[in-house]
Amino acid sequence: MKAVVTGASSGIGRALCAELVGRGFEVLGAARSEAALQALRGELGQRFRYVVADLSKLEGVERVAQAARELGWVDVLVNNAGFGLYKRLLDHTDEELVSMVMVNYVAPIALARRLTPLMRRGSVVVNVITAGVHVLMTKLPAYGASKIALHYATEALRRELKPLGIRVVAVYPGYVATAFHERAGGAPPKMKPIPPERVAKAIADAVLKGKHRVYAPGYTALLRILGPHLPPLG
C-alpha cells in the first residue's frame, strides 16, 4: 500500500511515517525541511521517499501532487501539515493569515482534489484537525478558525467521496508532545501531553480498521458535547 503524508518532518507526521512504514506501507513524505526529510529517509530506508514542498503556496501543493503521481496510485492521503501563531486575530499580518489558511485548510482540499483520481475504492483520506475546534481558543484564534474550516470541509468531503468508495477520516488530537506551541510563539498547556507516536498509531489503526473519526487521547471526544458550554481557553 502507498501513502502520502504532509508535515512529515516532525511531530505527528514524522511518527506516522515511521508507523506506516513499519506496517509495510510505501510512504511519500512532504515537508519544507529537506535536511529533516533526508534524516528520516536514513532511518526508515527505501520504503520512505520524500518531496520538499511549501504548502503555503499552490506551487508546493502541485509539487506534492506530481510526486504522488509518480507513485502510480495512492491508497492513503494524510493531510497533517499545519501551524498556528499565538496572536490576537487582529494582530496577524495579512501574509500570516493567508499562509495559515492555505496550509491548514486550502492545501488539504486541493491535495484531495488532485490525488483522488489516483485513489481506488477502499482508499482513505485523513485530515488531521484538532480537538480545539470544539472550544474557543482565544490565544490561537486564526489557527482555530482555519481548522474549523477544515473540520466543516471534511464532513462535506466525506459525503462527496463516499460514492467513489473513498473513506474520509477526521483526526482530532489534543495536547501532543510536539514543537507546535514553541513554533507558534506561546507556552504549552499546563497538562501532560501524549506522545506523537500514540496519535500515529491511532491514525494507522483507523485507516486499517474502517473508522471515520479519531480523538487522541480518547477523552477529548467529550469536547464534542461539552465544548460549547465551556468558557474560552486562554
Report the CATH number at residue 203. 3.40.50.720
pLDDT for res 164: 97
In a domain, 71, yes or no: yes
Q: Phi and psi (nearest 5°) for 184?
A: -80, -10
Q: How many domains does the chain have?
A: 1
10 Å Cβ neighbour count for 24? 8
- Give the SS3 label for residue 7: coil
pLDDT for res 188: 83
pLDDT mean for each 10 residues of the chain (234 residues): 97 98 98 98 97 98 98 97 97 98 98 98 98 94 98 98 98 95 89 95 97 94 82 74
In a domain, 45, yes or no: yes
Catalogue the active-site residues.
143
Stated pTM of the model? 0.95
pLDDT for res 191: 87
3-state helix, strand, coil in the chain (%, to 5): 55, 15, 30
Q: How far apart are CA 181 and CA 177, in angstroms?
A: 9
pLDDT for res 23: 97
pLDDT for res 39: 98
In a domain, 234, yes or no: no
10 Å Cβ neighbour count for 128? 29
Domain range holding 139? 2-229
